[in-house]
Amino acid sequence: MESNNAKPGLLCSPEASQSQRTLYPYVTGTSVVALKYKDGILMAADMGGSYGSTLRYKSVERMKPIGRHCLIGASGEISDFQEVLRYLDELTLNDNMCDDGNSLGPKEIHSYLTRVMYNRRNKFDPLWNSLVLGGVKNGQTYLGMVTMIGVNFEDNHVSTGFGNHLARPILRDEWHEDLSFEDGVKLLEKCMRVLLYRDRSAVNKLQIANITEEGVTISQPYSLRTFWGFSAFINPTPGAQ
């Protein structure tokens, strides 16, 4: 997949000539960071859609509510995320139409997404996303992640993309059980600030989503305060010599 897109017959897949696989992503979203707190899940993602190295779209909502109990966040190819949303829409529609008092919870949706991602990868036609799935159902909070090759796991805090490298260490040190809402938001903002400083495809316009037993709220977009008043920026010469 990472090689050329020349003669499809040379690759292992038998129907490679008919399949239209995502060979490389075009419009991508960067990291999503999420953690469990006392009442549910907090998830943060910026609103950038990069077209290669250009920060082309700056109002892309990369977190969406699913049904009554879940919140999904995605990094990677935005069009593939829209396709995932379509799959989930069909799934929840059929579930709603049964109208039997049951509804799909986060565990079920995570399981479904894992199967979808893994099976697509096996056909050499992946959905180029890392999905974060969080939710609360019947008092139980759940937070999980699926990558484009089908790796999936459940944890107390997850992050995708650059967040894996930059946000995970912060979360490992500072996350603890029963975080309050304010502490959770502060921790997420700390991670997002580091990502903003160090990830070139991050934009300073983010949303924080909160899901509890009552429902989902996705905040209005806002910006983090950054600090650039370092002496090395003001007077770079001494450091350069």
Partner 1 sequence: MSSIGTGRIVMGVEKLIASKMMLPGSNRRIHSVHRHSGMAVAGLAADGRQIVARTKSEATNYENVYGDQIPIKELAERVASYVHLCTLYWWLRPFGCGIILGGYDRDGPQLYMVEPSGVSYRYFGAAIGKGRQAAKTEIEKLKLSELTCRQGVIEVAKIIYGIHDEAKDKDFELEMSWVCDESNRQHQKVPDELLEEAKAAARAALEEMDAD
Residue number, 90 or 214, with CB nearest to partner 1: 90
User: For partner 1, how many residues bind (rule: CB under 8 A)?
Assistant: 5
Is 237 catalytic? The answer is no
Examine residue 178 and tell whether it contacts partner 1 (CB under 8 A). Answer: no
Stretch that binds partner 1, among 89-97, 131-139, 147-155, 161-169 (CB under 8 A): 89-97
231, burial (CB in 10 Å: exposed 0-12, middle 13-18, buried 19+): exposed
- Choose which of 99, 173, 177, 178 interacts with partner 1 (CB under 8 A): 99
Point out which residues pair with 131 in neighbouring strands.
Answer: 74, 146
Examine residue 90 and tell whether it contacts partner 1 (CB under 8 A). Answer: yes
Examine residue 173 and tell whether it contacts partner 1 (CB under 8 A). Answer: no
Instruction: Give the sign of the dihedral formed by CA 109, CA 59, CA 31, CA 201.
Output: positive
Q: Site residues for partner 1, window 183-222 (CB under 8 A)?
A: none
Residue number, 92 or 204, with CB nearest to partner 1: 92
Map tokens 């160090």 to a residue.
198
Examine residue 140 and tell whether it contacts partner 1 (CB under 8 A). Answer: no
Examine residue 93 and tell whether it contacts partner 1 (CB under 8 A). Answer: yes
- Choose which of 82, 96, 217, 223 interacts with partner 1 (CB under 8 A): 96
Residue number, 15 or 90, with CB nearest to partner 1: 90
Question: To the nearest whole angstrom, how small is the minimum distance from the Cβ of residue 100 to partner 1?
Answer: 9
Annotated catalytic residue: which of 22, 28, 141, 147?
22
Stretch that binds partner 1, among 24-32, 91-99, 110-118, 126-134 (CB under 8 A): 91-99
Q: What is the 3-state secondary structure (H, E, C) of 72-139?
A: EEEEEEHHHHHHHHHHHHHHHHHHHHHCCCCCCCHHHHHHHHHHHHHHHHHCCCCCCEEEEEEEEECC
**Residues with catalytic roles:** 22
Query: Which stretches of the chain bind partner 1, using CB under 8 A?
Result: 90, 93, 96-97, 99
